[in-house]
Amino acid sequence: MTPFTSLTAPVAFLDRANVDTDQIIPKQFLKRVERTGFGEFLFFDWRFNADGTLNVDFELNTPDMAGAGILVAGKNFGSGSSREHAPWALMDYGFRVIIAPSFADIFYNNCFKNGLLPIVLDDPSIELLRSAASGERYVLTVDLQTQSITDGKGIEIAFLVDAFRRHCLLNGLDDIGLTLEHADDISAYESMRPSRMPSLAGQR
């Protein structure tokens, strides 16, 4: 997993509450076994019209939100089914940080396991960011080490991440990576265990 320390990137605003995982990555696109290739289908039903043309009225399709690496969304982001494809699609599209007043629990946990940083901010803080953007291309710096969000224009907002999850993201540790940190101890333990295979000596 790619470590996350800090990110300076343009911000995209999705002013919608209860965005569920089927809206993030519709079920018809869950056919790949790799974690890549889902970004082109992110928010598919919103980004595209029925005839396949780009929906110019959708927030993320506006020019000032192109290439955004930070998404500011509404409450209860990532609700619905537990599909891990949702954070895969967000990351493949280019997002590394999602900011919202609240997240669905399973989605929130899946984000950390895949190197995506979900940040919970209260409504006044999110409204402050929206007001500062003022319809222009807006850039934020999110620093996980200092747990701060700044815009270089005077705004500085603190956020909190669980210490263990913060450690994992800073060091790029998913579940496999955490296990491999104890590889020597595991090998030592396994070497002391008697073999479970019965002896075949003398058997024909």
Lowest mean pLDDT among 112-121, 123-132, 171-180: 171-180
Confirm whether 201 is domain-assigned: no
Does the pLDDT at position 178 exceed 70?
Answer: no
pLDDT of 31 reads 86
pLDDT of 203 reads 54
Confirm whether 43 is domain-assigned: yes
Confirm whether 204 is domain-assigned: no
pLDDT of 174 reads 76
Does the pLDDT at position 15 exceed 70?
Answer: yes
Domain containing residue 84: CATH number:
3.20.19.10
Confirm whether 80 is domain-assigned: yes
pLDDT of 188 reads 60
Quickly state the pLDDT bin for 185 (edges 50, 70, 90). low
| Burial call 28-41: b when 16+ CB within 10 Å, e when fewer | eebeeeeeeebeeb
Does the pLDDT at position 8 exceed 80?
Answer: yes
pLDDT of 184 reads 59
Q: How many CA atoms lie within 13 A of 118 on its CB side?
A: 27
Quickly state the pLDDT bin for 127 (edges 50, 70, 90). very high
With pLDDT > 90 as the criterion, what percentage of the chain qualifies? Answer: 74
Task: Indicate the pTM of the whole model.
Answer: 0.86
With pLDDT > 70 as the criterion, what percentage of the chain qualifies? Answer: 86
pLDDT of 190 reads 62
Does the pLDDT at position 192 exceed 60?
Answer: yes
pLDDT of 33 reads 79
- Identify the domain containing residue 178 by its residue range: 6-192
Confirm whether 77 is domain-assigned: yes
Number of domains present in the structure of the chain: 1
Confirm whether 139 is domain-assigned: yes
pLDDT of 82 reads 87
Confirm whether 200 is domain-assigned: no
Can you tell me the distance from the alpha carbon of 149 to that of 168, in angstroms, rounded to the nearest whole number? 20
Per-residue model confidence as pLDDT tens digits over 140-172: 999 999 999 999 999 999 999 999 999 999 999
Quickly state the pLDDT bin for 100 (edges 50, 70, 90). very high
